[in-house]
């Protein structure tokens, strides 16, 4: 994956509901709100190390589930294929507009592109 923060936010998006409320809160504050460990600790009334332990534990839980299920890995692979399908559908529309002007080809290319977009969501 691209970088540590991106990887962690993907893990959180896929597996965040497996965490306790406290783990979710600290993880979100650290990775999504970009608060420092010290800032989170001050707001929570615990030590910086305590916050770090909660976040590291949350990371470990989510990474373990990803290691077992591979959902994110498969999602990333499928997304690449969907991009290729979308690009091919757009190319079909372009070629059709320049050479054939067949409304059925345009309709099918738009359907393919729409279905690929729906799968991306």
- Tell me the per-residue pLDDT of 86-111, one tens digit each, with 9 for 90 and over: 999 999 999 999 999 999 999 999 99
Q: Which fold has domain 4-69?
A: Arc Repressor Mutant, subunit A (1.10.10)
Query: Global pTM?
Result: 0.75
CA distance 49 to 59: 15
Name residue, tokens 């059709």: 96
| Averaged pLDDT for residues 10-16 | 96
| Averaged pLDDT for residues 15-31 | 97
Determine the length of the chain: 121
Question: With contact defined as beta carbons under 8 Å apart, do 92 and 103 qualify?
Answer: no
CA distance 101 to 95: 9
Say yes or no to pLDDT of 2 above 70. no
Query: 48: part of which helix (H) or strand (E)?
Result: helix 48-69
- Average pLDDT for the chain: 94
Say yes or no to pLDDT of 114 above 50. yes
Say yes or no to pLDDT of 72 above 50. yes
Predicted pLDDT at 121:
81
């Amino acid at each position: 994956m691209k970088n540590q923060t991106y990887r962690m936010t993907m893990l959180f998006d896929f597996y965040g509901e497996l965490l306790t409320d406290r783990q979710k809160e600290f993880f979100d504050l650290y990775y999504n709100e970009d608060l420092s460990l010290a800032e989170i600790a001050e707001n929570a009334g615990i030590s910086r190390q305590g916050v770090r332990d909660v976040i590291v534990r949350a990371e470990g839980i989510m990474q373990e589930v990803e290691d077992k299920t591979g959902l994110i890995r498969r999602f990333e692979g499928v997304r690449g294929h969907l991009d290729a399908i979308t690009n091919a559908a757009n190319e079909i529309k372009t070629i059709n507009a320049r050479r054939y002007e067949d409304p059925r080809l345009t309709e099918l290319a738009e359907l393919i592109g729409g279905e690929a977009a729906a799968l991306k969501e």
